[in-house]
Amino acid sequence: MTPRAMAGEINEGSVPAYYREVYEAICCRTDERVQADVFKRLLERTGLSKAALSQIAEHIDCTDGFLTKLTLYKALALIALAQQGKKPSPKLFIHELPKPQLGEPRELSALRMQPAQDDVLTISQTFEQLLTKDTVHVELIPEKKGLFLKHVEYQVTSQRYKMSVYRRYSDFDVFHEVLLQKFAYRVVPALPPKRMLKGVLTSMSEREFIEGRRRALSRFINLVARHPLFSEDELVKTFLTYSGSDVQTKLRDTCKKTGDEFMTNRIATQAKEYLPADVQAQFSTSRELIKNIHNSFQRLRDRAEKMAERSMENSTDLVQFGRELSALGSDASPLPSLASSQSSWGTLRQSLKSLSEEFAVLSDKAAQQGRREQDDVVEKLNFFLDLLQSYRDLCERHEKGVLHEHQKALHKYSMMKRQMMSATVQSKEQASVEQLESRIVQQESAIQTMELRNYFSLFCLHQETQLIFTYLPITANILGAFVNSQVQGHREMGDVWNEVQPKLGCLFGSNNGLKPPI
């Protein structure tokens, strides 16, 4: 009996073999979860009453229409308790987990939905489904000053888990580290720098840097929380829900318990069987296309940033223009006698002063437009660019990591074989030859593992490439946000300008011989 069992939780290492056999029979081949519809069919085989099934359902989380492995194990234990006539409650998981009566595991495979079984390589989720997985808000909270240094803290709020936790940059850093350790073959977005680079201070204030880093951390966590695989992983759940002060230790311990994805993914060693024959050609073509898309989106982002900057500059110019009008209208210098009889400057001066208020409103509208362009357009472009950059990083890891290590292992193996042949010819001591033979066997095993990892890396790369294409409809979202921001901004500015125009009448009265322009 483990402490986890005593707490009503399921420990994967303590479940009966039957539980694992049921899981293997009905789980999804794509992402190793159990579809909710498949689970419903399983419940129909239990022979339990509707009341008992309702009690079981209260303890089962079918997030996004799926059950995780541990959730299924929990459900199997609850089913067994109910079949024994007991109330299905996790509090009763205090002895050896009971075996439910569901029949032979091999018979249960028929419950599994075929589309999930046939194609493990294809990502079936749409862009809209990815967006609905979660939305995470990252907000700055007031600075806390330590004994020597002040630090920035963030409130991280997940809509999916309906809770908020507090995180420092170092927590994000450790989370990124363990995420990359576990999912080295996946698109793991980069973190923004912790501190301003030298020379940046001249063009950016500390406040601006902190706000930019907050935005980047928000993009990072949302990309992770919406990833088809990461979103269901215990690491992500821990980061978004664990409220203890030792979250970094918790994350590292969670990572150590499971190992990397190659060690835990059931199809890792069979990845080669699922890859298309022309996978390398597909990868090269897709990589070049995604590179071009990346470059184009970078140029779009640069232009959108300049537009937002111009809106803010326009805001500054408008308010300064209004202040100059106000200063001109506030000038109380007396008019000389030669001008007083021919000029209505006194009346005009009062009108100019009143117009400065309208220009302050125009300035505020221009500033709002700049913020809309930054928040609704530039941020969406940066979000997609972060994903595209992480894909480029993944491609480099694949080539410089797995492939490079494989080549090194092959070179080392060939060197050892030559040494073996040389030792045999020169009739060296038997112990020395046997030691060399043992090293060669170990190296052969290492090469085999490297080859398997290489194919699994290609398998993951193929899926992550699909993920990039799944995200491409974000282009429509960005364009929609861009058009809407321009329509709203021009309408609001136009409304104010239309209010200003009638007020110009006093500037073009009949006594000065001028007429307002049409």
- Indicate the pLDDT class of residue 4, thresholds 50, 70 and 90: very low
Do both 92 and 132 map to the same domain?
A: no
Is position 403 within any domain?
A: yes
What does the pLDDT read at residue 388?
A: 97
| Exposure string for 160-177, b = 16+ CB within 10 A, e = fewer | bbeeebebebebbebbbb
Q: Say yes or no to pLDDT of 238 above 90.
A: yes
Domain CATH for 72: 1.10.238.10
State yes or no: pLDDT of 183 exceeds 90: yes
Residue type, 410: L
Task: Say yes or no to pLDDT of 510 above 60.
Answer: no
Give me the mean pLDDT over the 383-412 stretch. Answer: 77
State the SS3 of 148-207: CCEEEEEEEEECCCCEEEEEEHHHHHHHHHHHHHHCCCCCCCCCCCCCCCCCCCCCCCHH
Indicate if 230 and 308 belong to the same structural domain.
Answer: no
Handedness of CA 328, 331, 336, 340 (dihedral sign): positive
pLDDT at 434 over 60: no
Residue with the bigger pLDDT between 425 and 388: it is: 388
333 vs 59, higher pLDDT: 59
Q: Is 410 inside any structural domain? A: yes
For 323-355, what is each residue's pLDDT tens digit? 998 888 787 777 676 655 555 666 677 777 778
Assign 419 a pLDDT band (cuts: 50, 70, 90). low
Provide the pLDDT confidence category of residue 413 given band limits of 50, 70 and 90. Answer: very low
Q: Is pLDDT above 70 for 445?
A: no
35-63 mean pLDDT: 87
Same structural domain, 69 and 166: no
Do residues 455 and 370 share a domain?
Answer: yes
Domain count, the chain: 3
Mean of the pLDDT values across residues 348-373? 87
Give yes or no for a contact between 453 and 272, defined as CB atoms under 8 angstroms apart.
Answer: no
- If you average pLDDT over residues 444-468, what whole number do you get? 83
Whether the per-residue pLDDT at 508 is higher than 60: the answer is no
Mean pLDDT (the chain) is 82
Q: Examine residue 423 and state whether it is found in any structural domain, yes or no.
A: yes
CATH of the domain at 153: 3.30.1520.10
Q: How many CB atoms lie within 10 A of CB 346?
A: 11
Least confident interval from 6-10, 45-49, 106-110, 207-211: 6-10
Buried b (16+ CB within 10 A) or exposed e, 101-113: ebeebeebeebbe
Angle 169-182/206-225 helices, nearest 10 degrees? 30
Torsion of CA 481, 482, 483, 489, to 10 degrees: 100
Please indicate whether residue 171 or residue 58 has the higher confidence score (pLDDT): 171
Residue 244: pLDDT band (50, 70, 90) is: very high
Residues 403 and 460 in one domain: yes
Shared domain for 365 and 464, answered yes or no, is yes
Please state whether the predicted TM-score (pTM) of the whole model is above 0.85: no
User: What CATH number corresponds to the domain at position 350?
Assistant: 1.20.1270.60
- Asked whether residue 62 is assigned to any structural domain, the reply reads yes
- Does residue 203 belong to any structural domain of this protein? no
What's the pLDDT tens digit per position in 476-503? 999 999 999 999 999 999 999 998 888 7
Q: Given this model, what pLDDT does residue 147 score?
A: 45
Say whether both 441 and 468 belong to one domain: yes
What is the rounded CA–CA span in Å between residue 238 and residue 240? 6
Report yes or no on 288 lying in a domain.
no
Q: Which amino acid belongs to residue 379? A: E
Cα separation, 52 vs 78, in Å, equals 10
Question: Distance of CA 412 to CAs 407, 408, 416, 433, Å?
Answer: 9, 6, 6, 17
pLDDT at 182: 92
pLDDT value at 152 more than 80:
yes
Categorize the per-residue pLDDT at 512 as very low, low, confident or very high, splitting at 50, 70 and 90: very low
In a shared domain, residues 372 and 490: yes
State whether 137 and 105 are in the same domain. Answer: no
Q: Which of 46-60, 105-119, 290-304 has the lowest mean pLDDT?
A: 105-119
Which are the contacts of 241, defined by CB distance < 8 A and separation ≥ 6?
158, 161, 163, 165
| Whole-number pLDDT of residue 187 | 97
Q: What is the pLDDT of residue 199?
A: 56
Domain range for 316: 299-331+346-505
* Of the residues 50, 77, 111, the one at which a domain ends: 111
User: Is residue 341 in a domain?
Assistant: no
Name residue 150's beta-bridge partners: 145
pLDDT average, residue stretch 174-183: 95
- What pLDDT does 3 receive? 41
Q: What average pLDDT score do residues 393-406 get?
A: 74
Q: How far apart are CA 413 and CA 315, in angstroms?
A: 68
pLDDT band for 148, please (50, 70, 90 cuts).
very low
The pLDDT, as a whole number, for residue 248 is 96
The reply to whether 459 and 496 lie within a common domain is: yes
As a whole number of angstroms, the distance between CA 89 and CA 74 comes to 10
Q: What is the DSSP letter of 398?
A: I
pLDDT at 394: 95
Asked whether residue 269 is assigned to any structural domain, the reply reads no
pLDDT at residue 5, as a whole number: 40
CA distance 154 to 468: 29
Could you tell me which residues come within 8 angstroms of residue 438 by beta carbon, excluding any fewer than 6 positions away?
Answer: none
Query: Is the predicted pLDDT of residue 465 greater than 90, yes or no?
Result: yes
Task: Decide which of 383 and 415 is more confident.
Answer: 383
Question: What is the CB-side half-sphere exposure of residue 463 using CA atoms within 13 A?
Answer: 23
Give me the residues paired with residue 34 across strands. 67
Give the angle 44-48-54 at the CA atoms, nearest 5°: 90
Residues 477 and 354 reside in one and the same domain: yes
**Residue 511: predicted pLDDT:** 45
Residues 74 and 170 grouped into a single domain: no
Cα 305 from Cα 76, distance rounded (Å): 54
